[in-house]
Structure 1
Amino acid sequence: MDWIVENIWIVWLVLMLLFVTIEMLSLEFTFLMLGIGSAIGLASGFLGVPWWAQFLIAAAASVLLLLLVRPSLLRALRKGADPAKSNVDALVGTTGRVIQPVTEHSGQVKLANGEVWTAHVADESETLTLEPGTPVQVQAIRGATAVVIPTGRNAS
């Protein structure tokens, strides 16, 4: 125990390296704040603070960083995110045409992007069966099935 108390700076260095390594894998700024708290604990040790107070200082600094700094960093990181929808999210709202009769349980549609999807009529639709050539709009994607409603517009 005496060796640890005399060489507490090694413990702080190991903690900082561990937290920064975990942060590189998670990218959520949580472990970065803990690593900075550990650096503050190390700095307090260099100022002659007892080891138990170093841990209290590091813990308090980490909590303050998590509560005050991390939310701002996350907002700044996500501010530049691409607002464009992709994959299945991009299909919601897409128009298309029925190519095989679409009922409450089965059917096929060809979407404006050229993809052919299995489909069924949305529960809230007044029409229970859609005939081939009927223009539709995708309301949702459930698994590999497009949930569609008929539209009055011409779809491609």
Structure 2
Amino acid sequence: MDTVLQVFTDWAWIGWLVLMVLCFVIEIFTLDMTFLMLGLGCAVGLLSVLTGVPIWAQAIIAAVAAVLFIFVLRPPLLRRLHRGEDTTRSNVAALIGLHGVVLLEVTSISGQVKLSNGETWTARLASDAPVLAPLSPGAPVRVSRIEGATAYVRTEHD
């Protein structure tokens, strides 16, 4: 039994090195910074091997380091990574809240509106609109949601 433990102790650096590389490779595919922090924890475990710390202490040191990296280093790195992102809504999300004008009477079954971006959409009254009376041509509306190729609208005043 002592020989097995001695083999693990003698070759622990290879285990830490393999775990570290594995975490870094997984991080390349996930880009979430979590596996990067775990890999850095493994690097701390590898450094503790070089100082002659027992294997059980190496595991504790690596785990504590990984947790600290996740909670201390990861949040600012993620903020820095996402700092230059474009927050402009696009596609269907950009249509929500857009103003428009009724072209063909809009009911809960059918209708047509022209939105302020120039697009013409098939429209229906939104089921959560307070007034479910048909909207006449020329009435101002606002898009509340999009489902497929249909814009669900409510009156501008709702």
Please state which band the TM-score falls in when normalised by the shorter chain: 0.7 to 0.9
Question: Greater CA deviation, 128-137 or 22-31?
Answer: 128-137
Amino acid at match of 2:145: A
Deviations 1:24-53 (A, max 9, x none): 111111111100000000011011111221
- 1:5-154 matches, cutoff 5 A: 5-122=9-126, 123-126=128-131, 128-151=133-156
Q: Which structure 2 residue ranges, 5 or more long, are not aligned?
A: none
Amino acid at match of 2:136: E
Amino acid at match of 1:145: T
What percentage of residue pairs aligned between the two structures are identical?
51
Inter-partner Cα distance in structure 1 for 2:124 and 2:89: 23
Inter-partner Cα distance in structure 2 for 1:81 and 1:28: 15
Q: Which structure 1 residue ranges, 5 or more long, are not aligned?
A: none
RMSD: 2.0
Amino acid at match of 2:16: W
Number of equivalent positions: 152
| TM-score computed with the length of structure 1 as normaliser | 0.84
Inter-partner Cα distance in structure 2 for 1:148 and 1:47: 68
| TM-score computed with the length of structure 2 as normaliser | 0.83
